[in-house]
Amino acid sequence: MGLPIPVAAIARCLQCPLVVDAQAVASLPVSKGAYALVLRIPGRVEVTVRTNAHALPAGWYVYVGSARGPGGLRARLARHFRADRKPHWHVDALTAVANRLYALALVAGSECEVVRRLAELPATSFPIAGFGSSDCADCRAHLLRWHARPDAHRA
Ligand SMILES: [Zn+2]
């Protein structure tokens, strides 16, 4: 399918067969579950989390969420791919400017379990504590950064 390296690596880590872009999102099931948005931001983005302003550098990021409402994963992920919606979640600041955006749907998955598995990869780190995880007491954040050269940021 020619997926970008971070998208392919994350799908492999999560053993996730349902990887879609904006064109394929309508083919997702309406099941409830967890999802990972893998996106690339082309330049620095300012975001405010817990009243603190942060700057994220250009690069690849993974945001993990869950879809429990009507329409399940299909409806929630379709919303993330729409450019015209009002900002509501922290991640909307990133999807609004992303130049690559893919979604991995995990039917019946748990978002915090997904974060835990991704955090074990040497290429990931948590750039902003509390990002996307206001309702979660277990995770440092539900946003991870993907490092193209994992050794550089852990040295
Ligand atoms: Zn969590």
Amino acid found at 138: D
**DSSP-derived secondary structure for 85-106:** SPP-STTHHHHTT-SEEEEEEE
Q: Can you tell me the distance from the alpha carbon of 148 to that of 103, in angstroms, rounded to the nearest whole number? A: 19
Query: Coil, strand, or helix at residue 56?
Result: strand
Asked if pLDDT for residue 131 goes beyond 70, the answer is: yes
Q: Can you tell me the distance from the alpha carbon of 150 to that of 155, in angstroms, rounded to the nearest whole number? A: 9
Q: State the distance from the centre of ligand 1 to the C-alpha of 66, rounded, in angstroms.
A: 10
155 vs 123, which has greater pLDDT? 123
Q: Can you tell me the distance from the alpha carbon of 114 to that of 72, in angstroms, rounded to the nearest whole number? A: 17
pLDDT for res 83: 72
Q: State the distance from the centre of ligand 1 to the C-alpha of 143, rounded, in angstroms.
A: 10
Q: State the distance from the centre of ligand 1 to the C-alpha of 57, rounded, in angstroms.
A: 23
**pLDDT confidence of 155, banded at 50, 70, 90?**
very low
Q: State the distance from the centre of ligand 1 to the C-alpha of 142, rounded, in angstroms.
A: 6
Q: State the distance from the centre of ligand 1 to the C-alpha of 115, rounded, in angstroms.
A: 7
Q: State the distance from the centre of ligand 1 to the C-alpha of 64, rounded, in angstroms.
A: 8
Q: State the distance from the centre of ligand 1 to the C-alpha of 65, rounded, in angstroms.
A: 9
Residues near ion ligand 1 (Cβ under 5 Å)? 112, 136, 138-139
Q: State the distance from the centre of ligand 1 to the C-alpha of 151, rounded, in angstroms.
A: 26
* pLDDT, tens digit, 9 for 90 and up, residues 14-68: 999 999 999 999 999 999 999 999 999 999 999 998 889 999 999 999 999 999 9
* pLDDT, tens digit, 9 for 90 and up, residues 78-121: 999 997 777 778 899 999 999 999 999 999 999 999 999 999 99
Q: State the distance from the centre of ligand 1 to the C-alpha of 2, rounded, in angstroms.
A: 30
Q: Token match 């509390």: residue?
A: 130
Chain centroid to CA 74: 15
**Per-residue CA distances from 48 to 54, 66, 85, 120 (Å):** 6, 21, 19, 26
State the pTM of this model. 0.93
Q: State the distance from the centre of ligand 1 to the C-alpha of 82, rounded, in angstroms.
A: 25
